[in-house]
Amino acid sequence: MTQMIPAPPAAEATPSADAPASRPIPPRTKRGSWRDRAADPVFNFFAIGMLLVAIVAILYPLYFIVIASVSEPSEILNGNVWLWPQGFTLEGYARIFADETIIRGFGNSVLYTVVGTAISVAAILCAAYALSRKDLYGRTFFMLLFVITMFIDGGLIARYLVVRDLGMLNTIWAIVLPGAIGVWNLIIARAFFENNVPEELREAAQLDGANDFRFFFQIVLPLSKPLIFLMIMIHLVANWNAFFDALIFLNDETMYPLQLVLRNVLIQSEVTAAGGAGALDSYAAAQRLGELIKYGMIVVSTIPLIIVLPFMQKHFTKGALLGAVKS
């Protein structure tokens, strides 16, 4: 029997001095190879370009309304107003603020917006938290009742009869109570509480002696600041721009909100140039003043929201994402 002799290990190849050095391979990243990264500048160029176009498309109409409100209507009709006002005039604003109903309507809108927003946010937060609790008996049934109202509505006549029978006509409650709870906002708030307030946190608070009210006001609400700002922002815009409920439920002109007052001023300006038709010499002059008032009213009614909303934009985005995405 012959003995197997193992072969000697092969000698490792040593690179010769004359052999060319191998080209280094670029490292791969999570985004892909180096060739994938070469397309990023092109994508960034088109993405930034599209965003700039979107920004211009959104901001330019607002800017045009501002410069049109201080320009001669004839210049606007001739297409001469593009970037700068032509024929600068403040006559439209002077006519608007000369009417004392504008100031009264502004105060009414502030009152309705503040009270209506406070009621809506408080009602939605309380209802959404209760519906997010798994130990609430019949919570599916109650949620179903809310959802049904999104598809079935009694109509304007039934709503008017309810408000009338409750004695709320010509009162602030006819403006702030009928639409206090929006079901879609309630669903967002409920999802927020379900995904961001764990059950273990409530159990720990109960072990420390906290009841449900203390847990809600001292623990849940401080953790829900993005949601609170989201609800405030949504209802501020809705209550400030609302005029239909006031048109239906209010007969006293001293209680009209700003939006309804501006609507009435615009209608009157088309016929009587906002009450100043006696000083006008022609129908063309009345139409000119009506155009100035129209653009000026848009600016007056949107300035408060433009001032307030940028300070809440960060909370609006964060709250919307937290309440809409389930973890």
Segment-wise mean pLDDT, segments of 10 residues, the chain, 327 residues: 50 50 53 52 86 90 87 81 84 81 87 93 93 88 89 85 90 90 90 86 85 88 87 89 88 87 73 48 69 82 80 63 50
Contact, 261 vs 102, CB < 8 A?
A: yes
Contact, 309 vs 237, CB < 8 A?
A: yes
Query: What is the pLDDT at residue 38?
Result: 47
DSSP state at residue 32: B
Output the six-digit token pair for 162.
């309810």
Query: What is the pLDDT at residue 112?
Result: 93
CA dist 140 and 60 (Å) reads 47
Instruction: Count Cα neighbours of 110 within 13 Å in the Cβ-side half-sphere.
Output: 9
DSSP-H helix ranges across 38-152: 40-68, 73-77, 91-98, 100-132, 139-148
Where do we find the tokens 């809705």? 238
Instruction: Count Cα neighbours of 4 within 13 Å in the Cβ-side half-sphere.
Output: 2
Query: What is the pLDDT at residue 173?
Result: 93
Query: What is the pLDDT at residue 277?
Result: 45
Query: What is the pLDDT at residue 22?
Result: 54
Query: What is the pLDDT at residue 208?
Result: 84
pTM, two decimal places: 0.73
What the chain holds in terms of domains, given with CATH numbers, is 92-324 (1.10.3720.10)
Output the six-digit token pair for 34.
């180096």
| Cα angle 286, 292, 298; round to 5 | 135
Listed residue (104, 318, 132, 107) closest to 220, CA to CA: 132
CA dist 145 and 292 (Å) reads 48
Query: What is the pLDDT at residue 90?
Result: 85
CA dist 22 and 18 (Å) reads 12
Query: What is the pLDDT at residue 117?
Result: 93
Give how far the C-alpha of residue 82 lies from the chain's centroid of Cα atoms, to the nearest Å: 28
